[in-house]
Structure 1
Amino acid sequence: MPLALSFIFIGFFIWIAENIATFLGAWQYPNQQDVWSWVHLGKISSWFLLVIISFVIVAQLKHLKESRAGRKKNGEAKKIAI
């Protein structure tokens, strides 16, 4: 399965979970105050983007951790002020 397609599926299932949560009253959007309605289909793109950004951040942090571990193993570790 292509990676982009899997991200779309993840976004879709999060959107389904969001609809279930709003139906059960976990929160409401302004258009759902009087009567429940589906969350706009356009929100899938927001969830899709969130999934991509999350994967990129985790991959970068993993790469950073591995590079620091490699330097530490070689005795080249430097203190980084945060």
Structure 2
Amino acid sequence: MDNSLPTDIVEAVARARDSDPRELDFVLADHVDLDALEQLAEHPESTWTFTFELPDHSVTVTSAGAILVDGQAENDSSAV
């Protein structure tokens, strides 16, 4: 993850929808506490998983840096 975690999540959802991140029809902050996400990302030495719902998608973020959209990692054709 080179960007902030919220940016990485928006980009992952956009890829899952095969669209541009600027064209998404939701605001991430309306669905999840962005400060909480950033605080989790600051603890990579801990093992954690955070799942939340967006319109039409379930998103899971892990301490290992994985972002799963509807159970799929980027470039992964099988469910996790």
Q: Same fold (TM over 0.5)?
A: no
TM-score by length of 2: 0.32
Q: Which has the higher contact order (CA 8 A, sep 6+)?
A: 1
Structure that is richer in helix per residue = 1
Structure having the higher Rg = 1
Structure that is richer in strand per residue = 2
TM-score by length of 1: 0.31
